[in-house]
Structure 1
Amino acid sequence: MSEKTCTSNSVLQTNKLIDQLRLEASMERIKISLTAADLIQYCKDHRHSDPLLTGIASSSNPFKDKKTCVLL
């Protein structure tokens, strides 16, 4: 009986996999070149507010050390 159970479990798993693959294959996909172009345009439009490009003013940086290290 255990061999029959293993076989039926294998069939069920295979059917689930086939259903998942059919679902993924039927999905509408966006062309990569269009998505990349949109991403590039977004980066260009928002580069003035990007702290990685413009930097953070030292007066408004919350992570800057307030005290200097003094060794005695």
Structure 2
Amino acid sequence: MSGKVCSSVSVAQARRAVEQLRVEAGLDRMQVSVTGRDLVQFCQQHSRSDALLSGVPASANPFKDKKPCVLL
């Protein structure tokens, strides 16, 4: 009985995987060169306001500790 349960579960998983692949295959995709160019342009335009590139000022950082941790 457990063999039938396992095989029915694997068949159901395979069907879901095939359906997902069909959906992905049917998507319209943009050309990589156009998308890449747009991505580079966007990154260059927003690089000054990007916290990962320029850092966060200490006064505006909500995660900075207010006081140092003191162990007793």
Q: CA RMSD in A?
A: 2.2
**Which residues of structure 2 form unaligned runs of 5+?**
1-14
Partner of 1:48: 48
- Residue of structure 1 in register with 2:66 after alignment: 66
- Counting aligned pairs with the same residue, the percent is 48
Give the corresponding residue for 2:30: 30
Extract unaligned runs of 5+ from structure 1: 1-12
Report runs of 4+ in structure 1 exceeding 3 Å deviation: none
Structure 2 distance, partners of 1:47, 1:29, is 27
Q: Which has the larger radius of gyration?
A: 1
- C-alpha distance in structure 2 between counterparts of 1:56 and 1:38, whole Å: 26
Q: How many Å separate the matches in 2 of 1:54 and 1:71?
A: 33
TM-score of the aligned structures, taking structure 2 as reference length: 0.60
Matched length: 52
Q: CA deviation at 1:59?
A: 1.1
2-structure distance, mates of 1:55, 1:49:
9
Q: How does the TM-score come out when normalised to structure 1?
A: 0.60
